[in-house]
Amino acid sequence: MVIMSIVDFGKILEVKRYSANTIKTYTTFLGQVERYFKRPLHSISEDELFRYVYKLIRHKRASCSTQKQLINALKLYYREMCKETINLDAILPDRKPFKIPEVLSQDEVGKLLTAIKNIKHRCIMATIYSAGLRVGELIELRVKDIDSARMLVAVRGGKGNKDRYLPLSQKLLVMLREYYRQFQPINFLFEGQKGGRYSATSVNQILKAGLKKVGIAKKLSSHNLRHSYATHLLENGVDIRVIQELLGHNSIKTTMIYTHIAKPSLLNVVSPLDL
């Protein structure tokens, strides 16, 4: 048996070109398992892992997504690091519960952006909404990824380690130019106070503060701005398959969820921030 640490596992995944978000998620889950059992992963039996997952679901109310990611992380660890196959398929969720995503109206988005006076914070919210970005994609954006000549935003290494281009909103470009003059970011488009990537937690804190300021009681995360982007495109006539490409979804089935909250008609693609 080849036994290596969770840190080594993360390095293996990096070499295999897994996304930074997947590596962080998997290693975090595995670290939690080791801390719970207080011994190395390779010494934990399948029965013990089953009981651990059951406890997370029964007592900690773990989501379907968390359950699936944890099990996939464990299976991958044992395969890559221990050269063993563990059978946890019996505790994989059969189906993900169907939930209609919570979205803001275009008017609510407008009020939110107006209420955020800090230009950096406003640009962060506007960038997510205007391009439908995942928070992980936002914090990975580089200054060079904003192509004002072609009016495109380059998303590199998105979910599934895929690149894609998105339309750059004219209104967002104006905001970004003001932000750039004030903050002069060097590498990442949005940098933390000490440089480097901006914190995903801080992004959600900006949204929470903004919603409170305008009196919107909905409990949302930055991902709901992505949901709002897709919904508003659909409501304004953008074809569902175009939205699939813009969101970077592998399957049209994932994108079809927005048909439950919007009525599409065919129009040209325009960023909802410009509508």
What's the pLDDT at 46?
Answer: 84
Q: Is 232 a catalytic residue?
A: no
What is the average pLDDT across 58-63? 79
The H or E element spanning position 167 is strand 164-167
What CATH superfamily classification does 106-274 receive?
A: Intergrase catalytic core (1.10.443.10)
Q: Domain map of the chain by residue range?
A: 6-91, 106-274
Topology annotation, domain 6-91: DNA polymerase; domain 1 (1.10.150)
pTM of the complete model = 0.69
Using only C-alpha atoms, the chain has a radius of gyration, in whole angstroms, of 21
Residue from 75, 120, 159, 208 carrying the catalytic annotation: 159
What's the pLDDT at 168?
Answer: 97
Residue from 121, 134, 227, 232 carrying the catalytic annotation: 134
Q: Which 8-state DSSP code applies to residue 155?
A: E
Amino acid at 11: K
Q: Is 223 a catalytic residue?
A: yes
Q: Is 260 a catalytic residue?
A: no
- Convert the pLDDT of each residue in 71-100 to its tens digit: 899 989 988 888 888 877 767 666 655 677
Whether 135 and 156 have beta carbons less than 8 Å apart is answered as no
Q: Does residue 143 have a pLDDT over 60?
A: yes
Which residue in the block uniquely carries the two structure tokens 């196959």? 85
Q: Which 8-state DSSP code applies to residue 143?
A: G
Residue 188 bridge partners (DSSP): 142
Q: Is 179 a catalytic residue?
A: no
Three-state secondary structure string covering 62-114: CCHHHHHHHHHHHHHHHHHHCCCCCCCHHHCCCCCCCCCCCCCCHHHHHHHHH
What is the average pLDDT across 233-260? 86
Dist CA 65 CA 84 (whole Å): 24
The beta-carbon contacts of 41-50 under 8 Å, at least 24 apart in sequence, are: 41/6, 41/74, 41/77, 41/78, 41/81, 42/1, 42/3, 42/78, 42/81, 42/82, 46/86, 46/87, 46/88, 49/74, 49/86, 49/88, 50/88, 50/90, 50/91
Which of 47-56, 82-91, 255-264 is predicted least confidently? 255-264
Dist CA 42 CA 32 (whole Å): 14
Q: Return the ∠ at Cα 141 (arms to 130 and 157), rounded to 5°.
A: 105
Q: If pLDDT is split at 50, 70 and 90, which confidence band does 242 have?
A: very high
Task: Tell which residue, 131, 159, 158, has the closest CA to residue 146.
Answer: 131
How far from the centroid of its chain's Cα atoms is residue 157's Cα? Answer: 12
Side-chain half-sphere of 149: how many Cα atoms within 13 Å? 2
Percent of the chain with pLDDT over 70: 90
Q: Which residue has the higher pLDDT, 182 or 46?
A: 182
Residue from 226, 227, 229, 232 carrying the catalytic annotation: 226
